[in-house]
Amino acid sequence: MNDDTIYDTDPADYWPGQRRIRRHRAPGQAGRKLLAAAAGLAVMSLSLLAAPGQPAQAADYTTPITAMFYYDDSFRHATDHYHPAASGFDSDNPTDVAHQLGLIRDTGMQAIIASWWGQGQHGEATRFPILRDTARAANLGVIPYYEPEGQASQTVAQIQSDLAHLLPLSTVYVGGKPVIFVYNARSDTSNCATVSKWKTATAGFTSWYVNMKVFGGFASCPDQPSSWHQYGPAVAESVHLPWSFNISPGFWQYQETTPRLVRDPARWAQNVAHLKASNAQWKLVTSWNEWGEATSVEPSGSWQSATGWGTYADELHRQLVDGSGSTPSPSPSQTTAPSPSATASPSPSTTASSSPTPSPTGSSTPSPSATTVPPSPTPSASASSSSSPSPSPSPTGTLPAPDHIVVVLFENHSQTQIVGNPDALWFNAQLSRGAYLSSSVAVAHPSLPNYLALWSGSTQGVTDDSCNYTFTTPSLGQQLTAAGLSYLGYAENLPSAGSTVCTASGGYARKHAPWAYWPSDASHGTPYTAWPTDFSTLPKVSFVIPNLCDDMHDCSVKTGDAWAMAHLQPYLDWAATHNSILITTFDENDGSSGNHIYTVVEGAHVRTASFGEAVNHYRVLRTVEALCGLPGIGNASAQTPITDIWN
């Protein structure tokens, strides 16, 4: 499964584990270590003592918890791009499962998150009990991943029936409650109403610890689950603090000809280091063995190593078990997104333990005012309870000083109309190449107030798209001029430099060119034909405004995507090695609830990851100002710059 599309839901698409000749390599040093430790696993498992009312295999854990997504043998296909070294894996064979879980345990995991497809589905009647019982011997917890919510919106009654069925199968408890992860990935389940539905099904989240998949605006839902996670393995790091930090080694779906996330062992070492250093409640790895999407870290002939475990499992073991290996260079800043109500508070320690840390007290979930404490020397960051971004006492990240910043705006499409859309190939490719701000929102409807907000930190009280406004209030253009910094607005089909016409043939519209509303700034507007081929001649800040067709206002997503590929990609290729930045965003969504929009930052110094913190046009403006060494103006002055996306 991936973040946007459900694969493997049709049994006809499955390629069940075929009975092939099994090849077992002799164990290397690490393998011998595992075998020598096997005799002690039964003794170790005695630490998993169930509290009253819990299944015998269950244990109470304290966060942070390190866990890995795990799949059965039906997630293999003849056309997979990579294949496991243990080619004969059978999910119905306890010996095979025990071998897999033993290897997982020695990567430093405390639990596995295993897909559960519904009562009587996907072999769960036999496979889940085998998994639970075998995991106990490997000293691993088992967390069900509730897939039905990704297939169709479930009723409260169905959820309650499923949870009763799952109770004996879930062996990880937090605060005395069994843990379940929910894959609420459909367009009709990625919303606040689904959160409220699960609250009802679990008596206000008191009977289960519910960890739900993030979506645009998740942090502002009136009801908040126990925690949040992202399942988006086409991105190397998905960061949603304080809740979760998820890493992926690569992504290459078995029906696709090119990978969305190319494997890179050096990057993986840094990803593991960032995971280890994070202050997230849930430190997640995607995945052990999802071969259909090539996210696996399971041993494979394609990434062999001297230990026999493979490059990716080796790195996890080195850093999370041995405590050696790579270190973050530099360490990611530990900022937090708005805190949900009633979330488990991570313990100060962020190093993955080699064994679960059951809590004998079965303590309740801490209050939402709990502060997450990142490892020294990173300053602590308190989680805000506001649903909109608000300043922290001191930013924890370090901003670069780019030579060039380019901001480009597209039109009138929601985040879900772009992310996962096969007509938006360029836009989706950027998700694995830059910092994807997954909770980005616009500030108003219609278009003009959003452009004004991004240019001046205020909508200026405007609620329409009229051309007949003139402003003398502070603006980004005035700030840049006062600081001696250059800027231009490149507008496609603008008839001439400095023009303030309302519209022009070809699709120019003044309502999309905010500088034109300030007499002090209007002369800095220029036709897009002046866009240089020598990008070193660009000003410090550039705003790029496609025409009404190329920005998707009047034409298709496919048209806008083709324009972006042709016009933005050359600059982006150059920017990465020339200390320059590209910010791609939308003015507003399609009018649907939440006003969630696509926003990605790319170029030099930018981390490749998904960030779930709250972002709006004011915060983007504040970040551009900070990158230029300028103070905030208007509503941007109340925002903190986005600091956690930079290397």
More confident of the two residues 102 and 367: 102
Q: Which residue type occupies 451? A: Y
Q: Are 421 and 557 in contact (CB under 8 A)?
A: yes
Please state whether beta strands 227-229 and 209-213 pair in parallel, antiparallel, or not at all (unpaired).
parallel
> Does 264 score more than 70 pLDDT?
yes
Q: Are 101 and 112 in contact (CB under 8 A)?
A: yes
User: What CATH fold (topology level) applies to the domain 11-321?
Assistant: TIM Barrel (3.20.20)
pLDDT of residue 75: 75
Long-range contacts of 46-52 (CB under 8 A, 24+ apart): 47/139, 47/355, 47/356, 47/358, 48/136, 48/139, 48/141, 48/171, 48/356, 48/358, 49/358, 49/360, 51/173, 51/176, 51/360, 51/362
Q: What mean pLDDT comes out for the span 426-431?
A: 89
Tokens of 505: 């043939």
More confident of the two residues 430 and 585: 585
pLDDT of residue 47: 37
CA 519 – CA 499 distance, rounded (Å): 11
> Does 267 score more than 80 pLDDT?
yes
Q: Which residue type occupies 171? A: T
pLDDT band (50, 70, 90) for residue 56: low
Whole-number percent of the chain with pLDDT over 90? 66
pLDDT of residue 216: 82
Q: Nearest-CA neighbor of 515 among 535, 539, 532, 549? A: 539
In the block, tokens 């969305």 appear at 260
Range from 33-37, 107-111, 231-235, 272-276 carrying the lowest mean pLDDT: 33-37
pLDDT of residue 303: 95
Whether the model pTM is above 0.75: no
What 3-state DSSP class applies to 60? strand
Q: What mean pLDDT comes out for the span 131-150?
A: 93
pLDDT of residue 340: 32
Q: Nearest-CA neighbor of 453 among 605, 604, 597? A: 597
- The ranges of the chain annotated as CATH 3.20.20.80 are 11-321
> Does 126 score more than 60 pLDDT?
yes
Beta bridge partners of 583: 407, 601
In this structure, the number of other CB atoms found within 10 A of the CB of residue 381 comes to 23
Q: Are 382 and 392 in contact (CB under 8 A)?
A: yes
Q: Which CATH architecture has domain 404-638?
A: 3-Layer(aba) Sandwich (3.40)
- The ranges of the chain annotated as CATH 3.40.720.10 are 404-638
> Does 413 score more than 80 pLDDT?
yes
Mean pLDDT: which of 204-208, 334-338, 360-364, 607-611 is highest?
204-208
Q: What mean pLDDT comes out for the span 470-477?
A: 98
Q: Is the dihedral of CA 33, 37, 38, 41 positive or negative?
A: negative
pLDDT of residue 114: 95
Q: Are 282 and 247 in contact (CB under 8 A)?
A: no
DSSP 563-584: HHHHHTHHHHHHHTTTTEEEEE
What 3-state DSSP class applies to 148? helix
More confident of the two residues 41 and 547: 547
SS (H, E, C) 397-455: CCCCCCCEEEEEEECCCCHHHHCCCCCCHHHHHHHHCCEEECCEECCCCCHHHHHHHHH
In the block, tokens 């709250």 appear at 614
| Cα–Cα distance list, 582 to 115, 412, 599 (Å) | 37, 20, 11
pLDDT band (50, 70, 90) for residue 26: very low
In this structure, the number of other CB atoms found within 10 A of the CB of residue 6 comes to 14
pLDDT band (50, 70, 90) for residue 411: very high
CA 515 – CA 518 distance, rounded (Å): 6
What's the full length of the chain, in residues? Answer: 647
DSSP H or E segment with residue 99: helix 94-105
- Helix 94-105 to helix 124-137 angle (10° resolution) is 50
> Does 33 score more than 60 pLDDT?
no
Beta bridge partners of 358: 61
DSSP state of 618: H
> Does 470 score more than 90 pLDDT?
yes
> Does 94 score more than 50 pLDDT?
yes
Which residues, including other chains, have CB under 8 Å from residue 82's CB and lie 6 or more apart? 252, 291, 294, 296, 300, 302
pLDDT band (50, 70, 90) for residue 54: low
pLDDT band (50, 70, 90) for residue 371: very low
What 3-state DSSP class applies to 508? strand
> Does 378 score more than 50 pLDDT?
no
pLDDT of residue 420: 84
> Does 364 score more than 60 pLDDT?
no
> Does 539 score more than 90 pLDDT?
yes
> Does 408 score more than 80 pLDDT?
yes
| Cα–Cα distance list, 389 to 315, 546, 622, 642 (Å) | 36, 29, 12, 10
- CA 577 vs. chain centroid, Å, equals 25
pLDDT of residue 440: 95
Q: Are 613 and 428 in contact (CB under 8 A)?
A: no
More confident of the two residues 222 and 368: 222
pLDDT band (50, 70, 90) for residue 432: confident
> Does 359 score more than 60 pLDDT?
no
> Does 138 score more than 90 pLDDT?
no
Q: Which residue type occupies 566? A: A
Mean pLDDT: which of 36-50, 119-133, 183-197 is highest?
183-197
Beta bridge partners of 213: 229
More confident of the two residues 32 and 485: 485
In the block, tokens 């639990």 appear at 111
pLDDT of residue 32: 33
> Does 448 score more than 50 pLDDT?
yes
CA 488 – CA 477 distance, rounded (Å): 9
User: For all residues of the chain together, what is the average pLDDT?
Assistant: 82
Range from 2-6, 83-87, 175-179, 638-642 carrying the lowest mean pLDDT: 2-6
Q: What mean pLDDT comes out for the span 515-532?
A: 97
Range from 15-19, 326-330, 611-615 carrying the lowest mean pLDDT: 15-19
pLDDT of residue 76: 79
pLDDT of residue 433: 85
Range from 326-330, 364-368, 405-409 carrying the lowest mean pLDDT: 364-368
| 406 phi/psi in degrees, rounded to 5 | -115, 125
CA 330 – CA 480 distance, rounded (Å): 30
Which residues, including other chains, have CB under 8 Å from residue 392's CB and lie 6 or more apart? 335, 381, 382, 384, 640
pLDDT in tens, 326-340: 433 333 333 333 333
Whole-number percent of the chain with pLDDT over 70? 79
Q: Greatest CA span in the chain, whole angstroms?
A: 80
| 464 phi/psi in degrees, rounded to 5 | -140, -175
Q: What mean pLDDT comes out for the span 262-283?
A: 93
pLDDT in tens, 617-630: 999 999 999 999 99
Q: Nearest-CA neighbor of 599 among 629, 563, 642? A: 642
DSSP 181-218: EE---STTTSSHHHHHHHHHHTTTTTSSEEEEE--TTG
> Does 22 score more than 90 pLDDT?
no
More confident of the two residues 490 and 306: 490
More confident of the two residues 186 and 345: 186
pLDDT in tens, 186-233: 989 999 999 999 999 999 999 999 999 998 888 889 999 999 999 989
In this structure, the number of other CB atoms found within 10 A of the CB of residue 160 comes to 16
